[in-house]
Structure 1
Amino acid sequence: MRAMSGDDVIEAVAGCTAALRPAVGGDWRAVRAGRLEWDCHTTAVHVADDLIAYAANLAGRARDGYLPFELTLDEGTGNADLLHVIETTGALLAAAVRTAPPGVRGFHSYPFRSADREGFAAMGVAEVLLHTHDIAEGLGLPYEPSADLAESVLTWLFPHVQPGPAPWPTLLWATGRGELPGRAPVTAWTWYNNLVIGAGRLDLVGIRPAAARDLSLGGDGGFEWIEGGPYEGTRQAAGFLLKAYETGVHRPEFGVFALVRREDGRAVGGMGFHSAPDEEGRVEIGYDLTEGARGNGYATEALRALADWAMARDDVRALFATVETGNTASRAVVARAGFVLVSEDADEVAYELRR
């Protein structure tokens, strides 16, 4: 798995400054940045401001809002010095990403109000790539980042976007900056950091497409698992998530979660939805635990938390789960979480939880 890192931030910034440096002698305030309403100077300042804000929120472990400061340039700062500021703020974000422990999150407003170190790296890279494109377009300069960087941004921040024939044109299309054959123009867009749901002694940590691909191929998905993990059911669920992503039907909030113990940051199992809710608001849940984690109440805590989260949504009216008839432990989990038995045969039993 190619995780987003501080090195990616440095690579993106280096590509930005190399592309824009030939035009530092021009008047960037007089030129509009591509399709944006901002001029090229304002857009470049915005890039630097985002980089330092992301670094601060991650390093400061901001929880409820952005840290209360913003970047202000000295009067008369020229374009060459502005590029130096971008290099510096990029280095600060890279350092914050490299030094943040796994699982640490900082505030970001949309859509789930937090991001981890990989998320902040991906957002920083996205800001640099997309706004360098805008500025370069306005100044008439050539620019195209590496396909690896563009693909990483897509798999870490755009899990709802079906992969296209090439990563960079797909990213431009997904952010309203270009066209893609066979797809309607994008007029409004957002990115998605992964959802995390607290559950007693656990956190349910949303699995991104990049991590799902790694899990489905036998990797760890970027998680530290207890011995024996991940269990086969989690790998299969990751494969289903990846297929949904590749066919353009994945909804990130109705994906798969790794069950991560707070006490040591180690994953003990997986839980998630089989799909998005149907027209009647009905959605199926599945889960498994690594053998060494069973018998500790983890599955019950996680299922209660996920059910509470789902039932608080307007688009969910019922949850259901199927269990092998002879799996008494799993049947006890769904019963303790409030599900009721609705059908039974020789092989499987079905439970449902209604609003």
Structure 2
Amino acid sequence: MKVLLALLVLGTLAAGAAGWWAWRSLDQPGPAAAAVVVEIPAGASLSRIARRLEDAGVIEHALLFEWYGRASGQAGKVRAGEYRFPAHGTAREAMARLVSGEVVLHALTIVEGWNFRQLRAALAGHEAIALQLAEVPDAELMARLGKPGMHPEGWFLPETYRFPRGTTELELLRMAHAAMERALAETWAARADDLPLESPYEALVLASIIEKETGLADERREIAGVFARRLERGMRLQTDPTVIYGLGPEFDGDLRRADLRADTPYNTYTRHGLPPTPIAMPGRGALAAAVNPADGKALYFVATGRPDGSHYFSTTLEEHNRAVARYLATLRERRNSK
């Protein structure tokens, strides 16, 4: 009887010691010497997750991690996704991270002035985006966005979007489109009086031209003013970016006089008014400029040829022609110096 009692006592002490060791081990630093990213598949069992974490060096004992998850009632709360675990993190911290669902977020930046073709290429080239519609034509893609018949150009707001791995291109486009709809509505509500634009869409079209004409924030409203005055007077906009857009992917980077005379729906040298659609994706600055053009008398502008990308603004055609001549001379001088 005494022997049995002694064995029971020893067994109890051993179990207590094992439990104490296990509990302390949950708070011991893990083996990873640097941060580790581990993807947890949807539907993975806790034992599979524990083995994956052990293999990655996040935890030291997979069985202990699995026991802790079940004993604490957290086994069923683990969320799938991609997680970043800090160097020498504890097993308890690893479990808390998996339960929190704080997954790694990737980023895609839609650049101001991109066209829709460039956006689709960026989506297709992003390693964290799940491609489902790579071969789907633009028209069908817009239909899947719930916008059948809408031309896609200009309708996606240039910003940086963050998302978990496995997000589809359709989900990202839906985010960017909703952001543009909100930005355009806010911009249109704050428009100036007597604006020569009849709808938010016309503001979007004009903003896209402004976006392509200048990269300088302090020039946007001035360029918008030139276009607004031209529209008010019935003058053609005569802006090169619209012509280039109308030429399509075949444009080789060299705009020729023949291109300016070749009539397309986007040639603002041959046609009055705005082109039928935006020609790029305008940012918030270009949107704001389109509906709040600067006052003034300038009807023309041309690049100065300086490295800052600035423009010279003219009120008369004669003054503009002199500015063009200076610009061409600057280009010749630059070519000769090379």
TM-score (norm 1): 0.26
Higher helix share: 2
| Higher CA-based Rg | 2
